[in-house]
Structure 1
Amino acid sequence: MNEDERRRALADFLRKQRALRSPAEVGLPPGLRRRTPGLRREEVAQLANIGTSWYVWLEQGRNVRPSVQVLESLAQALKLTPNERRHLFLLAGHALPPHMSPTKERVSPVLQEILDDLNPTPAYVMGRRWDYLAWNQAAEEVLQIPAEGLPYERNLIWRFFTDPTMRDHFSNWEEMAHGMVAELRTASASAPNDEGFEELIAALKQSNPEFCRWWQEHHAPRSLDGDKIMEHPTLGHLEFRHLTLQVVNDADLRISIFMPDAATRAKLHQLLEANN
């Protein structure tokens, strides 16, 4: 995409996003009857605290270069999703900055329905700080996801480093743990204003000397997908192929799927049948 094409694409994106937003969605009174749906250009400019003429130039595809601060203001004014915000910065020719204020993580009913339909294949949704946000029954049984309780109880990395049974469950625990530390470092670096990351990392450093030592090594992240072998306390030997997918509408959310081999699938199917 050359410069002219990029500006036209940015203009088209802004026009479409403006047309999709109602005054009520952005906190404005409905006002007089509107000839076309969506917001007016001057309303977007007012919400983003920028000049109306300058915003009109953006929608016309003129050669103006919005700053990171202006793009952030537009993203907030138009109530863009994380994925739409990323697209806005890409079209404007800017690298994506970290979130100014982390958004609340939510799992849609449709996504939960997909997880449930995957039974007896364990699957769960993980947030930006590696928290379990949603899961199916198979994942609850295999990973023994606890009920809401102590802080970080539903954080995958916290459990991996502080629950001694994790070492017994996974034969390649150390390799997996190294990978998680590297991935967590990368994720935290992309969100420096997220206090939740700082608190989690500080707690992990205090709770586990290996985490504290490996955190200083600055290893590059690598894929955590692949074969997973687990010794389950009641189901015994389990084997999976692990795959991680990113949620398109919210790139902070990831779906982890543990695809069982035939023997493991038979055990899980029998367990779920007995529990239901």
Structure 2
Amino acid sequence: MTNRLSIPIHSAGSLGDFLRRCRTRLDPASFGFSGRRRTPGLRREEVAQRANISPTWYTWLEQGRGGAPSPEVLERICSALMLTDPEREHLFMLGLGRPPEVRYRPVDGVNPRLQRLLDSLRFSPAIVKTATWEVVAWNRAAAVVLTDYGKLPPGQRNILRFLFCNPDVRAKQHDWDSVARFVVGAFRADVARAGLVSAVGELVEELCSVSPEFDALWRDNEVLTHAEADNVKRLHHPTLGLIALEQSAFSVDGRPDLHMIVYNPVDAGQAERIKALIEQS
């Protein structure tokens, strides 16, 4: 039995089915291919040509033959078929049973929708950071309670630089040693996942040269995740005194290399203190 596209029902949701659907939606003329066609989209051999793989091998992939493709082949097919990031992830899940490695893209800021979400958290400091721990967005509460990132040039908004090179930021931490250990371990995991180990070499060398503590932690090779962070962040604020904030981290939709971190006051009393400070500033 077949469906209305003449594709066997048992193949719906398969790698071959997904590849066929992606290539049939593409306009051959856009890629310089001509000639009369009985079906819409690119031919198999045209996709293979664009992906620089064997037409026979690509045909086997659509037919469910030939075994699992390599990540490199899937990446070339993604490019050949002009897949979006969600489609790329879906292709890897179908072909290899796992998502692809995070593809890092430089970030200057965030979209207006995400910034509005940050701004809606009026009395909860919130930031968005990259895989290299650069702060690229923040709300008013973060500027007042944590750091006024807007007063710093983009290249100086790195959380590790704050923690290891800024005495004021270090003095705010209730348990600097634990915070530093977590930040270095999580940073190591994030840059490795994003394929950026070599890209952060200059930053790592700089921090190792100016901070013996960072140098020692980096040499420990410990790897941590955001799930292993202390749930409560305690800060010695120059105006508020000792405050406690519940810490939660979230991946940004469609951007696994971005994380939003929200610091929520642990009780109504501390929320009121933060509110009063924000309204006065």
TM-score range, shorter chain: 0.7 to 0.9
* SS in structure 1 at match of 2:254: coil
TM-score (norm: length of structure 1): 0.80
After superposing the two structures, state which structure 1 stretch, 60-69 or 152-161, moved more. 60-69
Q: 2:91 aligns with which of 76, 82, 88?
A: 88
The answer to whether the 8 Å contact 1:130/1:155 transfers is yes
Q: Trace 1:36-47 onto structure 2 (pairs within 5 A).
A: 41-47=44-50
After superposing the two structures, state which structure 1 stretch, 28-37 or 103-112, moved more. 28-37
1:163 corresponds to: 166
TM-score (norm: length of structure 2): 0.79
2:77 corresponds to: 74
CA shift for structure 1 position 148: 6.4
Identity of aligned residues (%): 38
CA separation in 1, counterparts of 2:112 and 2:28? 26
The answer to whether the 8 Å contact 1:82/1:251 transfers is no
1:257 corresponds to: 262
* SS in structure 2 at match of 1:66: coil
Alpha-carbon deviations, 1:71-100, whole Å to 9, x = none? 12123334445554344333222766756x
Greater Rg, structure 1 or structure 2?
2
Q: Which amino acid aligns with 1:273?
A: E
1:227 corresponds to: 232
Matched, 1:103 2:109: no
Alpha-carbon deviations, 1:9-67, whole Å to 9, x = none? 3234434544676779xx74697999988766455333322234433432333344322
Q: Compared with structure 1, are the counterparts of its residues 236 and 70 closer, same or farther at alpha carbon in structure 2 (3 Å cutoff)?
A: same
The answer to whether the 8 Å contact 2:162/2:170 transfers is no
Unaligned runs of 5+ in 1: none
Q: Which amino acid aligns with 1:264?
A: Q
Matched, 1:172 2:178: no
2:157 corresponds to: 154
Q: 2:276 aligns with which of 262, 270, 276?
A: 270
Over aligned residues, Cα RMSD in angstroms? 3.4
CA separation in 2, counterparts of 1:58 and 1:145? 53
Q: Compared with structure 1, are the counterparts of its residues 30 and 50 closer, same or farther at alpha carbon in structure 2 (3 Å cutoff)?
A: closer
Matched, 1:188 2:194: no
The answer to whether the 8 Å contact 1:225/1:243 transfers is no
CA shift for structure 1 position 234: 2.7
The answer to whether the 8 Å contact 2:69/2:96 transfers is no
CA separation in 1, counterparts of 2:11 and 2:212? 49
Count of residues in correspondence between the two structures: 268
